[in-house]
Amino acid sequence: MLYILFRGIIKGTPRVITLVGMILFMFGLCPAVLLAGQEDIFNAISIIFYSVALLAFILALFKYLIWRRSGLIRSLPVLQLDHVTGKETRHRALLGVRETTTYAKTQPVVFTPPASGSQRISVICRTCQQEMVFQVDSFQQIKKKRLRAVVIWGGGLLLSIILGIISTYAGQTKPMALWVYLVWYSHAILFFCSAGGILMLFAYIGAKTVRLYPGHRVRFPEKNELAILYNAPGAAINNQ
C-alpha cells in the first residue's frame, strides 16, 4: 500500500500526486482521529506522514507549473482509454512487493462539454471497435458540482473537527460517558466520509465513465501522452 503511494508520488501526474498527498495527510490524522483524547494531532508518526504529504503537495505544484508552461494543461477534460492487451506481475524481492505492469493500446479521449446540463457520449475503441459510454458535464455543471462538494464536504470536515475537539475535552474525565463515545464515533465517521468526498472532488474532471467494455480501463493521461495529443514541444523527452 505504502509502496503504491510512493510510486504514485514519483511517477504520477500532478493530480495523482495531489491525491496521494491527501491520502498520506489523512493517514497522519488517523491516530488523532481514532485515539481522540489519547494522542494529539502532532505525534511522531503523524508528523512523518504530514511531512511526506507536504513534499507531495510541493512536487505536485511544481509539476503542475511545468506542465502548464509546456502547454500540457488545457481547459477541456481529457482521459486516457486503454485497451488492455496483457498484464505482467513481477515480484520485487528487495522491496517485498508485487508490481503489476499493464500493457495496453491507448488512446486519448478529449471531451467537449455540452452547453448546459450533462450529456452521455459514446467513444469507440480504436483497437477493437467496442463502444464505451462516458458522461460529460457542462462547464456550468462542473462549477456547480465542485461548489456543492466544497460546501458539503468542507462543512462535514469542519463539523467533524468540532466534534473531535468536544470529545477530546469531554473525554478527559474518566470513565467516559456514553455520549462522549457517540460524539467521538460520529466524529470519526464524519471525518472519513468528508475526506473521501474531498478526494472525489479532486479526482473529478468533468467527465466520468458510465460503461466500459471488459478489458479496458480509464485513467489520467501521462505527460508524454498529453504532449503527443497537443503536439507540444518536449514530446519525446522526459516522458514520466
Binding stretches for Zn ion (CB under 5 A): 83, 125, 127-128
CB of 218 to Zn ion, least distance (A): 12
For residues 83 and 223, which CB has a smaller minimum distance to Zn ion in the complex? 83
Distance, first Cα to last Cα, the chain: 21
3-state secondary structure of 222: coil
Q: Please, which residue, 85 or 240, has the CB nearer to Zn ion?
A: 85
Is the separation of the CB atoms in 98 and 91 below 8 Å?
yes
Distance of closest approach, residue 226 Cβ to Zn ion, in angstroms: 21
Give the Cα separation of 105 and 126 in Å (integer): 9
H helical segments located in the chain: 2-11, 14-34, 44-69, 139-170, 178-203, 223-230
CB of 216 to Zn ion, least distance (A): 6
Identity of the residue, 134 or 191, whose beta carbon is nearer to Zn ion in the bound complex = 134
CB of 132 to Zn ion, least distance (A): 8
SS3 43: coil
Chain centroid offset of residue 41 CA:
23
- Is 8 or 221 the residue whose CB approaches Zn ion more closely? 221
CB of residue 80 to Zn ion, shortest distance in Å: 13
Considering the complex, state which of residue 99 and residue 131 has its C-beta at the smaller distance from Zn ion: 131
CB closest to Zn ion, residue no:
125
| Distance (Å, whole) CA 189 – CA 193 | 6
